[in-house]
Structure 1
Amino acid sequence: MESHFERVLAAPAAVKRPAVSSIAPSAAKQPRVSHTATSAQISAVVDGAEAQEGDALDARSLKSRAKSLLKQVQRNALDREKHVDDPLKFLESELALDHELKRWQQVAAKPELFGVMIELQVPRVLLGLFAHDNVDIQLSVLSLLADLTEVDDAVESQEPARKLAQHLVDEELLPLLVNNLFQLAAVVEKDGEKAEEETSGMYRSLQILENLVDLEPQVCVEVATKTAVLPFLLQQVAPTKGFSENKLYASEILSILLQSRAEPREEFVARSRKERRKEEAEPVTNSSKNSQAHLMDDLLQALAPFRKKNPASDEEEEMVGNLVNALCSTLLVSEAQTQFRHLEGLELLLRCMKDRRQFVFGGALRGLDHALMGNVRNCERLIEIGGLRSVFSVFMGRLGKYKLRSNSKSNRVNERALQEENVASLIASMCAWVRKDAPADGYDRLHAKFVENDMEKIDRLVDLFAKYQDRVERSSHVDEMEVGEEDEESRYLRRLDAGLFVLERIAFVVAHLCHFSKKLRAYVMIKFHERSIDSASLTAILRGQLKLLAADEAVTSDNDETRKESVKDVVNDEAKDAHKAQLQQLLEALEAEELPVDDENELTKETEAKNNENS
């Protein structure tokens, strides 16, 4: 606070904020103002400390504090209006107001008083100070709100905190917060390291946003759809900005919002759609291109530098992970998948996978998996641009080699398991969605991959099938020993942890290949026999997937709200119906052993096709 008045009273040339610069007297007329300010501040602090000693923090004292706060706000506003040409005249009231705000931070430790604070309309008074000319007052308000919304996990604290959070949202805190973020960011952009207070204010603002989201998840929808927070966050993670604590925090908030619900993802896509229409309607010059940024493009640009370099610290690794999470969440929307393809996102992620020693390798693989889910054109496009080589290289066990800074054995095992899961899901998507008449002979090129090099890909499939089947079966045996202690959902989650999802994806690919070619089916059955795998287990897994889809459909149809949300993402009714039809067809073919009659030279043709594989 004192530093604010030192800047205001120093000289017009040194003024930082225009709102006060026009009324600043010349430097020559100023005595040692800093000493005056310090004296007034010390006096205010001493007076406040003495008052606090006798203050019992309860409903009665809170009412007294509320009156005092309102009195200080009104007094300062009046002093500023009366002495607009002489900052010294409103210096004392401004310091008193700042001190009063700091006194309210004690209330953060008493969540039981939040209800009284709401009744006294204190939040409305605080939000009114967002428009104060002195940025230090704004920062004090941000600091206070951050403390008030950050409570412990105790039930007795959570309930009043949730009520306060909802009240703040009802009082239009979110647009005020985001607008203030833009203003603070503009100052930081202009003044750089000198803008320490504004940088701190940005951090506090992001902290408030995170606290509100923790208390009221619906805030994710409110802030994403009713403010410009998504463009702001993407501006903060831009590659042109150096790494900072605020950049990391912005990536975290972006990830939280996009992972929360369908509406923020839809808003992300809708904003990108609007910007794209602007670009198509207006000539794009170098100056307008940046102002009409495509949100998906911004996100890809933020990730792009890490295709060639690794993060420099644990914090930067966390930021890249947040960006990957944000991308994968966005790709749950089918229109986002289309935008991603048009912006050459597939090509970018393939470049990120060129060097297995890069940190982003695993994230790029996960992004590809999400980009292909339920999307015919993305599956076919990946083959067109030569992505099969990279994908099947990972499938054959050539996984990422980046050494995490927390390079424990469990972390390495988890990372390998995640990459196996992603590549199995990715290949299952291509088997499910690539059409027979796909461009660039995509259908033939995909299946030729499985027969090249003496069927090594099918050998790998069977190995993975055996590996994950054993894990899931052992998990089921544990379940049988604990009958009655866990419900059906808990048992299902245990099987998922053991690798059921990967097993289902592998089973789908095996069944698809068996249906595709009688010769491939014969080869698979031989390998099953060598590994002592019961062929009936394949149909059992497919049947289990069908049962799960049917159960999920029943639950969704009973809940209209859930249904409305689910149709916005890739896993919607249309995709589910198509997947169910595929599973049913494969299951019937396997059980009836009615496979298509293949041309005698089919394998020869497939082998020849592999020679044309440019991926």
Structure 2
Amino acid sequence: MNVNNLFKAPKYASSSIGNKRKLPANPSPDELKKWRQEAEQQNGQERTEPPAKRSRNVTMEEIPDEDSAMDTSDFAPGGDADYFEEEDEDGRFFGGGLTSEQKEILNIFDRAGGEGIQAEEGEELTPAAVKRLLLKLERAVNKNTDQRSKYPGDPTKFIDSEADLDSAIKSLLPLAQAPTVSYPELVRSGSLALLIGLFTHENVDIVLDVVELIHELTDEDAGAEYEEAETKETEEVMKLLIDSLVENNIFELLVDNLNRLNEAEEADRQGAFHILGIFENILSVNPDLAPQVVEKTKVLTWLLNRVQSKTHDENRGYAAELLSILLQSNTPNRLAYAKGDGVEIALKVLSQYRRRDPVDADESEFMENLFDSLCSALAEASIKKLFLEAEGPDLMILMAKEKRECKSRAIKALDYAMSGPDGGPVCTAFVEALGLKMLFSAFMGKVKKGKSSALPPAEDIGHILGVISSLLSNLESDSTDRIRLLAKFVENNYEKSDKLLDIRDNAVTRLKQTDAAIEREKRELDGEDEDEDDILNDQAAIYLRRLDGGFFTLQTVDYILAWIVMEDDGIRTHVLQMLSRKNQSIQDVVSTLKIFYENIDDVPPTEAGEDNAPSQKDIIANLIISLDPSAGQ
């Protein structure tokens, strides 16, 4: 309400307020005379003109009463149907914010939804309820089989039984919520074998129903929401289920159905995703089944074909992930991968990322899984040869030169390919392909000409050091390639040797923090009853923890330092001088190498290389003696 509209006062004349004149502080005689004349003229005008009638009476306007205009019949805010119905104990009213019509619509949906939940859940999953569900499945399978055999050419005769079978299979999905109750009965009753038999059903939709069910039953989170206190028992029944699946040839049937599916159809594409998920679920419970999967099926062929798809989708990414899982720590599978042209296929697919980055996180994961598969395979000597023949080192060098997402993965692949005695030919090919320039550019972390960053990322520096270490181990002494490598540590006033020492200092700092944490935990456990196998007292476990806490980088750096100090007097003088400035000496390097030597595994003679090259343990022993002759006495 505007008050000015109710109480209106007349406005003052502008001349009486806004134009009021003032005399100066010290007026001159002329100014006083002029002012007096103007005042007399103004007084004469006021006497001749009648004075204006002034009125200061306040006037009021009638404003319509707002209360009278309000419709009391619709007082509830927003027409809230519950405004006057919902009342709390203190007498205050609350509304739901809905009109009567909106409330009625929601009530209809609530009633419909509630009935659906009751129809699906029905009753609690007790052993008796599980038996009834399994009996329903058995009857549906028998009826459908009988009608299909009687009327093979007339689908109208068995379509109803097929619908009943579909319903019976889907009704078993809740079994995954109570594994400890349902899985033993599922196996004991023979219903699991009955389900697996449906993988050969003529109707692909029935097969997809079974695939979805098996995927849910084998999921690692099965029963997690309802059986939190029964983790151990859940693991046991899950193992029971998977053992029964394997006995009933689940792997072969899954792969056969992969070839039946047309991924252009949404249902089939989802079915393929579930099949890949079943493989992953089973292998996560029992990784030892990986060789059996590859040996008894053609899944590796399907996966290699699938990753070559021109368009990227979820199933292509899943295929690369499963491929990576199958090749982890598994020599037979790696050899089968090589036999199926896996190295060629991986290099072909990965080459596209030399010119472009993955478009999204899903494709980035796909690329990384392909690199992981290749790196796992490169642990085998025969696959290193295939990698070399396929010009893998050249491609990896080109990819590592690009400032793209693939750079660090390419260096990682080179690290795996060049490691070990069998990596010698790859090391030679690496130097001949001008890989040293790329390698030391990444080592220095150069971002602009003449400038370098503090340190490369931790994962990258680990693989870069691994490549340098392999070059020093595998390149022949006095060869041109080795001289070129050593020259890198001399050029530009030993800047790369200094960088190596900077990385060493960083690793030492991290290791001190790790050792301090281990000591604190040991002190906290002092006085408590401890088992002899306690992880903190287990020297192997402590060593692994120290490796993660900086010792792995430290031992690799000191291994490289030992080589270059031994082979070049100029580098030796410079390194010793830099170490002395930090109150360190070559004995610190020797101490690291001794721990490295004590914890490295002995390599069997068959793995020492074709030319009986010395193992890394032998090399470390010789380096220790060369740096500290007294150590050999």
TM-score normalised by L of structure 2: 0.72
Encode CA deviations 1:108-157: one digit per residue, 9 max, x unaligned.
11211211111111121111111111110000000100111112563232
Name the amino acid aligned to 1:73. V
Matched, 1:493 2:544: yes
% identical aligned pairs: 28
Alignment partner of 1:434 out of 442, 462, 475: 475
After TM superposition, give the deviation of residue 197 of structure 1 in Å.
1.0
Alignment partner of 1:479 out of 505, 513, 518: 518
**1:123/1:576 Cα in 2 relative to 1: closer, same or farther (>3 Å)?**
farther
Q: What does residue range 262-301 of structure 1 map to in structure 2 within 5 Å? A: 262-263=330-331, 266-273=332-339, 294-301=341-348
Other structure's SS at 2:163 match: helix
**1:399/1:318 Cα in 2 relative to 1: closer, same or farther (>3 Å)?**
farther
Q: What does residue range 178-189 of structure 1 map to in structure 2 within 5 Å? A: 178-184=255-261, 187-188=262-263
Instruction: Give the corresponding residue for 1:423.
Output: 464
Other structure's SS at 2:287 match: coil
Encode CA deviations 1:328-356: one digit per residue, 9 max, x unaligned.
11111121111111111111111111222
Q: What does residue range 322-361 of structure 1 map to in structure 2 within 5 Å? A: 322-356=369-403, 358-361=404-407
Name the amino acid aligned to 1:381. A
After TM superposition, give the deviation of residue 269 of structure 1 in Å.
2.0
Name the amino acid aligned to 1:379. C
Question: Aligned equivalents of 2:454 and 2:154: distance in 1?
Answer: 67
Instruction: Give the corresponding residue for 1:578.
Output: 615
**1:313/1:50 Cα in 2 relative to 1: closer, same or farther (>3 Å)?**
closer
Instruction: Give the corresponding residue for 2:486.
Output: 447
Q: Which runs of 4+ in 1 moved over 4 A?
A: 46-52, 412-415, 570-577
Instruction: Give the corresponding residue for 1:98.
Output: 166
Alignment partner of 1:131 out of 200, 205, 208: 200
**1:81/1:341 Cα in 2 relative to 1: closer, same or farther (>3 Å)?**
same
Q: What does residue range 527-542 of structure 1 map to in structure 2 within 5 Å? A: 527-542=578-593
Matched, 1:199 2:238: no
Name the amino acid aligned to 1:397. G
Alignment partner of 2:178 out of 100, 110, 113: 110
Encode CA deviations 1:296-343: one digit per residue, 9 max, x unaligned.
111122211111101111111111121122121111112111111111
| Stretch moving more, 490-499 or 384-393 | 490-499
Give 5+ residue unaligned stretches, structure 1: 1-45, 276-293, 401-411, 557-562, 595-615
Instruction: Give the corresponding residue for 1:386.
Output: 434
Encode CA deviations 1:277-298: one digit per residue, 9 max, x unaligned.
xxxxxxxxxxxxxxxxx11111
**1:242/1:578 Cα in 2 relative to 1: closer, same or farther (>3 Å)?**
same
**1:517/1:56 Cα in 2 relative to 1: closer, same or farther (>3 Å)?**
closer
Question: Aligned equivalents of 1:377 and 1:582: distance in 2?
Answer: 19
Q: Assess if the C-alpha contact under 8 Å between 1:353 and 1:361 holds in 2.
A: yes
Q: Assess if the C-alpha contact under 8 Å between 1:206 and 1:249 holds in 2.
A: yes
Instruction: Give the corresponding residue for 2:155.
Output: 87
Question: Aligned equivalents of 1:229 and 1:413: distance in 2?
Answer: 46
Name the amino acid aligned to 1:443. R
Instruction: Give the corresponding residue for 2:414.
Output: 368
Instruction: Give the corresponding residue for 1:173.
Output: 250
Other structure's SS at 1:62 match: helix
Name the amino acid aligned to 1:366. K
**1:590/1:414 Cα in 2 relative to 1: closer, same or farther (>3 Å)?**
closer
**1:542/1:47 Cα in 2 relative to 1: closer, same or farther (>3 Å)?**
closer
Other structure's SS at 2:374 match: helix
After TM superposition, give the deviation of residue 57 of structure 1 in Å.
3.1
Other structure's SS at 2:489 match: helix
Matched, 1:157 2:234: yes
Matched, 1:64 2:132: yes
Q: Assess if the C-alpha contact under 8 Å between 2:428 and 2:481 holds in 1.
A: yes
Name the amino acid aligned to 2:505. A
Q: Assess if the C-alpha contact under 8 Å between 1:111 and 1:160 holds in 2.
A: yes
After TM superposition, give the deviation of residue 523 of structure 1 in Å.
2.0
After TM superposition, give the deviation of residue 457 of structure 1 in Å.
1.5
Instruction: Give the corresponding residue for 1:606.
Output: none
Question: Aligned equivalents of 1:174 and 1:476: distance in 2?
Answer: 47
Name the amino acid aligned to 2:406. V
After TM superposition, give the deviation of residue 253 of structure 1 in Å.
1.3
Name the amino acid aligned to 2:295. T
After TM superposition, give the deviation of residue 228 of structure 1 in Å.
1.8
After TM superposition, give the deviation of residue 525 of structure 1 in Å.
0.8
Q: Assess if the C-alpha contact under 8 Å between 2:507 and 2:550 holds in 1.
A: yes
**1:180/1:319 Cα in 2 relative to 1: closer, same or farther (>3 Å)?**
same
After TM superposition, give the deviation of residue 542 of structure 1 in Å.
0.5
Matched, 1:524 2:575: yes
Task: Count matched residues.
Answer: 491
Q: Assess if the C-alpha contact under 8 Å between 2:490 and 2:497 holds in 1.
A: yes
Matched, 1:244 2:313: yes
Name the amino acid aligned to 1:592. P
Matched, 1:470 2:540: no
Instruction: Give the corresponding residue for 1:282.
Output: none
Matched, 1:587 2:624: yes
Question: Aligned equivalents of 1:467 and 1:51: distance in 2?
Answer: 61
Name the amino acid aligned to 2:310. K
- The structure that has the greater radius of gyration is 2
**1:248/1:51 Cα in 2 relative to 1: closer, same or farther (>3 Å)?**
closer
Instruction: Give the corresponding residue for 2:108.
Output: none
Other structure's SS at 2:161 match: helix
**1:414/1:510 Cα in 2 relative to 1: closer, same or farther (>3 Å)?**
closer
Q: Assess if the C-alpha contact under 8 Å between 1:349 and 1:367 holds in 2.
A: yes
**1:573/1:118 Cα in 2 relative to 1: closer, same or farther (>3 Å)?**
farther
Q: What does residue range 589-608 of structure 1 map to in structure 2 within 5 Å? A: 589-592=626-629
Q: Assess if the C-alpha contact under 8 Å between 2:176 and 2:223 holds in 1.
A: no
**1:306/1:245 Cα in 2 relative to 1: closer, same or farther (>3 Å)?**
same
Matched, 1:510 2:561: yes
Name the amino acid aligned to 1:387. G
Question: Aligned equivalents of 2:542 and 2:445: distance in 1?
Answer: 30
**1:449/1:159 Cα in 2 relative to 1: closer, same or farther (>3 Å)?**
same
Q: Assess if the C-alpha contact under 8 Å between 1:213 and 1:219 holds in 2.
A: yes
Encode CA deviations 1:54-108: one digit per residue, 9 max, x unaligned.
x553333433333332222122122122222221111101001111101111211
Q: Assess if the C-alpha contact under 8 Å between 2:564 and 2:572 holds in 1.
A: yes
**1:81/1:103 Cα in 2 relative to 1: closer, same or farther (>3 Å)?**
same
After TM superposition, give the deviation of residue 216 of structure 1 in Å.
1.6
**1:60/1:477 Cα in 2 relative to 1: closer, same or farther (>3 Å)?**
closer
Other structure's SS at 2:260 match: helix
Other structure's SS at 2:387 match: helix
Question: Aligned equivalents of 2:583 and 2:548: distance in 1?
Answer: 24
Name the amino acid aligned to 1:528. L
Encode CA deviations 1:442-482: one digit per residue, 9 max, x unaligned.
22222222222222221212222222123213322333343
After TM superposition, give the deviation of residue 576 of structure 1 in Å.
11
Question: Aligned equivalents of 1:152 and 1:58: distance in 2?
Answer: 14
Other structure's SS at 2:319 match: helix
After TM superposition, give the deviation of residue 496 of structure 1 in Å.
1.9
Question: Aligned equivalents of 1:255 and 1:272: distance in 2?
Answer: 13
